[in-house]
């Protein structure tokens, strides 16, 4: 009889896990409450729907995101595989057509005879084991309360979404196509600003009407997805060194340099929609129209989706989960963003770790933790190591142990860390599979 496994949540983590375990012959019951019950941020019933952005970040090995994706690819990640199938131009980044991505994930999982997808809200943690809770940061209120009791409380932060504009409404005579420093193809549409235009935009942004947080919520903003207006409140230079940084974006024909540049990235393969990169916001809709239309080229922009804000829940995993995301060494697991990892690929990566454990566990094999020199090992360690202040985190190179040999160049050092990680992961998989 095939081993049965229950998975709660059909987001990136739940979808990745269902795929990995179904391939290995397990009988999977996957619960996803959409479309019976929608969240405040989801728009479709697709499994693996992307919310905040359509980008899975850089593929370069001198970046943390590039290393993690490469490790995931070595483990035959569904998320990386489908992302590459549905990619849209984005320079060195792996960006996808959001609609095609979710549709393809859903098609693949529905194609497995040993995956049963049940569209209903789970209101309690089932007694069945093994069970993996991958309900995400937008877990329903009822289930959230049950999880909080299990973990002795819960934590949260606020996340924001960037607006999307209709490509036909953009004035291309005021913009130019180019990737920063000419890396990759000319995949980004750049809207340049003079100092005067930037000052006008900044003043309007600071005065714009915003959705205010309550007093106790004000500090609960994730640094990696900060609303543009919160960033601006820290000073003009925060924008000029952040999403509006003009460096490496001189005009491709005239060589002209600009005071500030706003970048737009294709939201789909057809190029009918563009995401305003780094402009996640909690401004009210009227204010978004007024402020974002001050960007050169967007004076008559039609918004296909306005920016918004939503609450993300996570738990103090560091007090309860081990390096395989097991709750107190039981066969109850937690996966994805609810564990306190932040980011699309990080969420899916947790499921690769869990699936690896379960496949070996039921094969009666000894299972050692992933090497600490790898991105997967670093995420495992971050979640399972006790700490006073536990906050959501992406994977970054600072999580890895230093090299034994000093390398002056920052880029070369990161590449060396990546090469070491990939070699150590390869050795680990050979010995433990």
Q: Which residues contribute to the annotated binding site for FAD?
A: 9-14
Q: Given CA atoms 286, 288, 289, 291 in this order, what sign does their dihedral have?
A: positive
Torsion on CA atoms 291, 224, 308, 200, rounded to nearest 10? -10
Phi-psi region of 117 (alpha: psi -120 to 50; beta: other; left: phi over 0): beta
C-alpha to C-alpha distances, 55 to 1, 42, 93, 245, 274, nearest whole angstrom: 41, 17, 7, 19, 12
Question: Exposed/middle/buried for 1, CB within 10 Å: 0-12, 13-18, 19+?
Answer: exposed
- The β-bridge partners of 276 are 264
Helix (H) or strand (E) holding 46: none
Task: Provide the annotated binding site.
Answer: 9-14
Enter the DSSP assignment of 283: B
Do the bridges between strand 115-118 and strand 27-31 make them parallel or antiparallel, or are there none, so unpaired?
parallel
Q: Which residues touch 373 (CB under 8 Å, ≥6 apart)?
A: 400, 401, 417, 420, 421, 424
């Amino acid at each position: 009889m095939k081993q049965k496994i229950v998975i709660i949540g059909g987001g990136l983590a739940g979808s990745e896990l269902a795929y990995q375990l179904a391939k290995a012959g397990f009988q999977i019951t996957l619960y996803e409450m959409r479309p019976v019950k929608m969240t405040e941020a989801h728009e479709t019933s697709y499994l693996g729907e992307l919310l905040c952005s359509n980008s899975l970040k850089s593929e370069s090995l001198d970046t943390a995101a590039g290393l993690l994706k490469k490790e995931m690819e070595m483990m035959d990640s569904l998320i990386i595989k489908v992302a590459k199938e549905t990619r849209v131009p984005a320079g060195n980044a792996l960006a996808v057509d959001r609609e095609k991505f979710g549709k393809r994930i859903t098609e693949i999982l529905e194609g497995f005879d040993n995956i049963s997808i049940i569209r209903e809200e789970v209101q309690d943690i089932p007694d069945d084991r093994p069970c993996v809770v991958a309900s995400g940061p937008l877990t329903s209120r009822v289930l959230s309360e049950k999880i909080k009791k299990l973990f002795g409380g819960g934590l949260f932060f606020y996340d924001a979404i960037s607006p999307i504009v209709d490509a036909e409404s953009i004035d291309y005579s005021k913009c130019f196509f180019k990737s920063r420093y000419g890396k990759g193809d000319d995949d980004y549409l750049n809207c340049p600003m003079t100092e005067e235009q930037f000052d006008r935009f900044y003043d309007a942004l600071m005065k714009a009407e915003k959705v205010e947080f309550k007093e106790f919520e004000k500090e609960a903003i994730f640094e990696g997805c900060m609303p543009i207006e919160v960033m601006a409140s820290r000073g003009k230079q925060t924008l000029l060194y952040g999403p509006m940084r003009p460096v490496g974006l001189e005009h491709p024909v005239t060589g002209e340099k600009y005071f500030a540049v706003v970048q737009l990235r294709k939201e789909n393969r057809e190029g009918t929609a563009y995401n305003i990169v780094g402009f996640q916001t909690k401004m009210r809709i009227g204010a978004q129209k007024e402020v974002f239309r001050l960007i050169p080229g967007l004076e008559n922009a039609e918004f296909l989706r306005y920016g918004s804000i939503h609450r993300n829940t996570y738990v103090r995993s560091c007090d309860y989960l081990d390096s395989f995301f097991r709750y107190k060494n039981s066969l109850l697991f937690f996966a994805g963003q609810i564990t306190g990892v932040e980011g699309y690929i990080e969420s899916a990566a947790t499921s690769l770790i869990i699936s690896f454990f379960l496949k070996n566990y039921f094969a009666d094999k000894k299972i050692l933790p992933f090497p600490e020199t790898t991105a997967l090992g670093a995420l495992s360690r971050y979640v399972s190591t006790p700490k006073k202040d536990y906050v959501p985190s992406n994977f970054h190179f600072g999580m890895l142990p230093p090299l034994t040999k000093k390398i002056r160049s920052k880029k070369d050092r990161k590449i060396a860390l990546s090469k070491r990680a990939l070699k150590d992961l390869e050795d680990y998989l050979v010995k433990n599979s």
